[in-house]
Amino acid sequence: MSRLKVADRPYDIVLFGATGFVGELTAEYLAAHAPKGLRWAVAGRDGEKLRRLRDRLPAEDVGVLLADVSDPDSLRELARHARVLATTVGPYVRYGDALVAACAEAGTDYLDLTGEPEFVDLTYVRHDARARETGARLVHACGFDSVPHDLGVHFTVRHLPEGVPLSVDGFVRVGAAFSGGTLASALGQFARGRRLRAAALERRRHEPRLAGRRVATPAGTPRFAGEVGAWALPLPTVDAQIVRRSARALERYGPDFRYRHYAAVRRLPVAVGGVAAVGALVAAAQVPPARRLLSGRLAPGDGPSAERRARSWFSVRFVGEGGGRKVFTEVSGGDPGYDETAKMFAEAALCLALDALPPTAGQVTTAVAMGDALTDRLRAAGIGFRVAATR
Ligand SMILES: NC(=O)c1ccc[n+]([C@@H]2O[C@H](COP(=O)([O-])OP(=O)(O)OC[C@H]3O[C@@H](n4cnc5c(N)ncnc54)[C@H](OP(=O)(O)O)[C@@H]3O)[C@@H](O)[C@H]2O)c1
């Protein structure tokens, strides 16, 4: 696929799932921040809802495109209309594969908000090779999962010496609520343990071995982490896997790289309660009636109010070490699940559409595809990336 053909597409960015909770926030962000002349469209399955959204947006010439995940032809058509296609239609393991296939085939850059490791592994096995041939960049996890962690580690590594073994620990703290779409994705994921492990195994069979370097993301153990003054609980989210892929792809992470990912909790009873709550959610997700009951508590499209989101925040602190140097960094911002996720998602789409980036193709992470360019965009948009101390 020549990049010229891609440049001829009617839209620079198409936002699919624009009528959902995060979709609307992303459309509002694009309407407020897209540079003049950017050609973009909202897409989804409900024309009436899309037109109502488009008419509310403070932007001109926003296109409207119809597509449904149950109609693969409509997804192929959608992929042919965009240079960059950003989708919020999840749970991705249920709804997402056909659109990734369509983008890989059409040479269209693809972004999503998945936090589902099984989906990322399956799309790697199925579509990475074709995307490399057509030049499509397939970038998963472009929201709070996993941008602050992936770019935060990338930022931390840039402050450590080159060519030596490096280790980074990440400590996540959030104060926030979540939406119906996120609850559905989380419950679906907890119910799919065996399929998740099978997909990871299949990926490992396809992934080339890393020659001459080592990259590890061990789970770590619960402990009091004096360096951040909090209890650290190993966090089994997709983030560490994304960091691992960035470290595999980028020589700058050194000959021997290790990353450990934790939730940081100030008080021990909260730590114990958090582990118990996640355990209960995982257990409930195994029983279909309990899963349906929990899903029903928040309908798709529902989410926290603007007031609740305004009080929400996140902070990810990193401790990096190597070559005799130690660096403490932090990535921080407002409401992680929605406002900041919409910001990260929209800025990532703008970055792929507009910025001069290193040539990459196939399944790539935000750090590999966009790296400093996206970090700079997010800093300009109010997300903090700072070095707190060095030793
Ligand atoms: N940590 C993160 O990075 C993060 C944060 C927030 C959300 N997420 C993920 O992002 C996804 C969206 O979350 P949300 O809260 O915005 O969900 P949501 O409000 O339920 O929105 C889902 C969107 O998908 C669309 N959709 C559903 N079925 C479709 C179909 N058959 N064809 C076309 N479109 C279809 C819906 O369209 P209609 O309006 O027509 O129903 C809606 O626009 C979830 O997977 C969630 O887990 C990730």
Q: In the predicted model, is pLDDT for residue 185 greater than 70?
A: no
Ligand 1 and 300: CB distance under 6 A: yes
Sequence-ordered list of residues with C-beta below 8 angstroms from that of 349, at least 6 positions apart, any chain: 13, 15, 30, 84, 86, 111, 142
Atom of ligand 1 nearest to the CA of 182: 47
**pLDDT tens-digit profile of 192-224?**
888 999 999 999 999 999 999 999 999 888 999
pLDDT band at 4 (very low <50, low <70, confident <90, very high): very low
What DSSP letter does each residue of 153-217 carry, written as one string?
A: HHHHHTTS-SSS-EEEEEEEEEE----HHHHHHHHHHHTTHHHHHHHHHHHHHHSPPPPS-EEE-
Percent of the chain beyond pLDDT 70?
86
Same domain, 228 and 241: yes
Same domain, 180 and 218: yes
Ligand 1 and 303: CB distance under 6 A: yes
| Least confident piece of the model among 60-69, 122-131, 215-224, 264-273 | 264-273
Q: In the predicted model, is pLDDT for residue 77 greater than 70?
A: yes
Å from CA of 88 to ligand 1 middle? 5
Same domain, 261 and 182: yes
Atom of ligand 1 nearest to the CA of 90: 45
Same domain, 328 and 274: yes
pLDDT band at 302 (very low <50, low <70, confident <90, very high): confident
Which of the two residues, 280 and 320, has the higher pLDDT score? 320
Token digits of residue 16:
């699919």
Same domain, 217 and 124: no
Same domain, 93 and 169: no
Nearest CA to 157 out of 43, 77, 250, 295 is that of 250
Whole-angstrom CA distances from 246 to 56, 74, 236, 386 are 39, 33, 17, 20
| Least confident piece of the model among 38-47, 197-206, 287-296 | 287-296
CA atoms of 114 and 143, how far apart (whole Å): 8
Q: How many domains does the chain have?
A: 2
pLDDT value, residue 182: 55
Q: In the predicted model, is pLDDT for residue 248 greater than 60?
A: yes
Same domain, 187 and 307: yes
Mutate to test the pocket of ligand 1, among 29, 88, 100 (most ligand atoms within 8 A of CB): 88
**pLDDT tens-digit profile of 104-143?**
999 999 999 999 999 999 999 999 999 999 999 999 999 9
Question: Residue written as tokens 């399929």?
Answer: 195
Same domain, 177 and 273: yes
Å from CA of 335 to ligand 1 middle? 18
pLDDT value, residue 175: 85
Å from CA of 301 to ligand 1 middle? 7
pLDDT value, residue 301: 67
CATH of the domain at 15: 3.40.50.720
Full residue range of the structural domain in which residue 276 is found: 147-335+384-390
pTM comes to: 0.93
Helix (H, G, I), strand (E, B) or coil at 222: coil
Same domain, 181 and 55: no
Å from CA of 90 to ligand 1 middle? 5
Å from CA of 379 to ligand 1 middle? 26
Q: What are the b/e assignments for 269-294, b being 16+ CB within 10 Å?
A: eebeeeeeebeebeebbeeeeebeeb
pLDDT value, residue 272: 61
| Least confident piece of the model among 50-64, 153-167, 220-234, 246-260 | 220-234
Nearest CA to 319 out of 310, 307, 328, 311 is that of 328
Average pLDDT, the chain: 91
Q: What mean pLDDT is predicted for residues 361-375?
A: 98
Same domain, 15 and 115: yes
Same domain, 171 and 103: no
Same domain, 42 and 120: yes
| Least confident piece of the model among 116-130, 157-171, 177-191, 198-212 | 177-191
